[in-house]
Amino acid sequence: MSLNIIFREKDIPNIREFDVYSKNGGYEALKKALSQTRKQVIDEVKASNLRGRGGAGFPTGVKWSFIPQDNPINYVVVNADESETGTFKDRQIMENNPHQMIEGALICAYAIKAAAVYIYLRGEFWDVAHALDAEIARARKAGLFGPNGKLKDADGNPFKVDIFTHLGAGAYICGEETALLNSIEGKLGQPRVRPPFPANKGGGLYNEPTVVNNVETLANVPWIINNGAEEYKKIGVGSSSGTKIFCLSGHVKNPGNYELPFGVTFRQLLYDYGGGPLNGGEFKAILPSGGSGPILRVTDEVLDTPLTYDDLRKFNSILGSASVIVMDDTVDIVWVASKVTKFFKHESCGKCTPCREGTYWLDKVLDRILAGGGKESDVDLIMSVAKNMQPTTLCAFGEFAANPTIWTINVFPEEFKAWVDGSKKPAEEKAVARPARERVAAAAAPAGD
């Protein structure tokens, strides 16, 4: 079932190298795109139903069509921040098949008449950025783009777009597109008020219209240009066309990245690819889009659900960037809510009060419950704080940060009840959580301790 549109390294060893990529059809899609009009390229991407793989699933061709072609300077920004909990696919693409993402970004640059491409990587990806720089230099030297670019577009104009990498400092919020743009500009990595949106004059990089696309999104583009939108739509289901890289982690035997057509079910992903529950336990819960999306209770109905942008809606959940975190029956769900909330409290940029204060209070009340001092009214208090955060924050982070509490309470109310009515006590929580913590501490301890 697996089909390697993106993970071509599985079929072609060393495709990360410019020479190998070129010998295997690399940059042919760019040449083909340059022989077409900009509108033709955008229409092809639109017709393919390619949707953004960074989380929101916005139609890529539609986003490109928002850019005003008569503006003298536009930009493409590749979102390689990869900060969502449980997401680790963009790194694999950049390490193993970087030219396909670069080629996709260049095709986008042509289509939207961009002056330059910036690849924004989280700070921890410095090694990935250095390797990318080397591969970009090889492709530039070969005359594919940059000041000495030899290619010409359909009107005979030389294609001189250049590409630069930019490292952030490792903040989750800098994956949000407007915080990311601020970060590239050397400003504090905090989201901007919208409108204007990045595609509008005044809203993008250096105030110029800008397309921000995820690494995986752009890596799909060369295949679409080479093979056509109709072929692409034959993969996947409905409005979820193509393949998706599912980042599978947690209590499965075989965690990892799996590139599969949209429409594969949770059961197939967790059992056929993931190998079933680790240590023979039972699957209990799934976070299908990392910590930021609503949690699911594992039932037969959930296991048989096709993984698409639309199908998860019936459980009030989302596919997001498809960072599927699986938990077995040893996991305490209130502990999960607390753990994920601590992440969001730490990563809140602090610009708006409901998010800054809300994450603080959610964390504090959850700590109280897990310390054995919780009351029934604490669950209502958590719900009230979280629900007040969601419609009042400046960016979607506020909604993400409230989801772990709202949805663990909605989906697993009995777990909260057990903590606040005293039938569950801190010692029991430690019995579950401690072995993992002790293993980590033991691994980190200096030899001989």
Ligand X SMILES: Cc1cc2nc3c(=O)[nH]c(=O)nc-3n(C[C@H](O)[C@H](O)[C@H](O)COP(=O)(O)O)c2cc1C
Interface residue list for ligand SF4 (CB under 6 A): 173, 190-191, 348-352, 355-356, 393-395, 397-398
Angstrom distance (rounded) from CA 137 to CA 341: 42
Angstrom distance (rounded) from CA 132 to CA 138: 10
- Evaluate the CA torsion angle 304, 306, 310, 312 in order and state its sign: positive
| Binding-site member from 6, 119, 173, 370 for ligand X (CB under 6 A) | 173
Compare residues 195 and 422 and give the one whose CB is closer to ligand SF4.
Answer: 195
Compare residues 157 and 353 and give the one whose CB is closer to ligand SF4.
Answer: 353
For residue 356, the minimal CB distance to ligand SF4 (Å) is 5
For residue 189, the minimal CB distance to ligand X (Å) is 11
For residue 156, the minimal CB distance to ligand X (Å) is 31
197 lies in the binding site for ligand X (CB under 6 A): no
* H/E element, 241: strand 240-241
331's contact among ligand X, ligand SF4, none, with CB below 5 to 8 A by partner kind, is none
By three-state DSSP, how is residue 59 classified? strand
Structure-token pair, residue 322? 């498809």
98 lies in the binding site for ligand X (CB under 6 A): no
Compare residues 214 and 393 and give the one whose CB is closer to ligand SF4.
Answer: 393
For residue 435, the minimal CB distance to ligand X (Å) is 31
DSSP string, 319-355: -TT-EEEEEETT--HHHHHHHHHHHHHHH----SHHH
118 lies in the binding site for ligand X (CB under 6 A): no
Angstrom distance (rounded) from CA 408 to CA 333: 7
Show contacts with ligand X in window 386-405 (CB under 6 A). Answer: 395-397, 400
* H/E element, 80: strand 74-80
Q: Of 335, 410, 344, whose CA–CA distance to 369 is shortest?
A: 335
217 lies in the binding site for ligand X (CB under 6 A): yes
Residue 330: how many other CB atoms lie within 10 Å: 16
For 182-205, give the secondary structure using H, E and C.
HHHCCCCCCCCCCCCCCCCCCCCH
Q: For residue 396, report the phi and psi dihedrals to the nearest 5 degrees.
A: -65, -15
The upper half-sphere exposure of residue 257, i.e. CA atoms within 13 Å in the direction of its Cβ, equals: 19
348's contact among ligand SF4, ligand X, none, with CB below 5 to 8 A by partner kind, is ligand SF4
84 lies in the binding site for ligand X (CB under 6 A): yes
For residue 101, the minimal CB distance to ligand X (Å) is 11
Residue 188: how many other CB atoms lie within 10 Å: 12
Q: Which residue in the shown chain puts its C-beta closest to ligand SF4?
A: 355
175 lies in the binding site for ligand X (CB under 6 A): yes
Compare residues 173 and 264 and give the one whose CB is closer to ligand SF4.
Answer: 173
Compare residues 350 and 373 and give the one whose CB is closer to ligand SF4.
Answer: 350
Contact region for ligand X (CB under 6 A) — 206-214, 242-250, 303-311, 440-448? Answer: 206-214
By three-state DSSP, how is residue 276 classified? coil
Compare residues 274 and 320 and give the one whose CB is closer to ligand X.
Answer: 320
Please list the residues that pair with 310 across neighbouring strands: none
Positions touching ligand X (CB under 6 A) are 52-56, 58, 79, 81-84, 173, 175-177, 212-214, 217, 395-397, 400
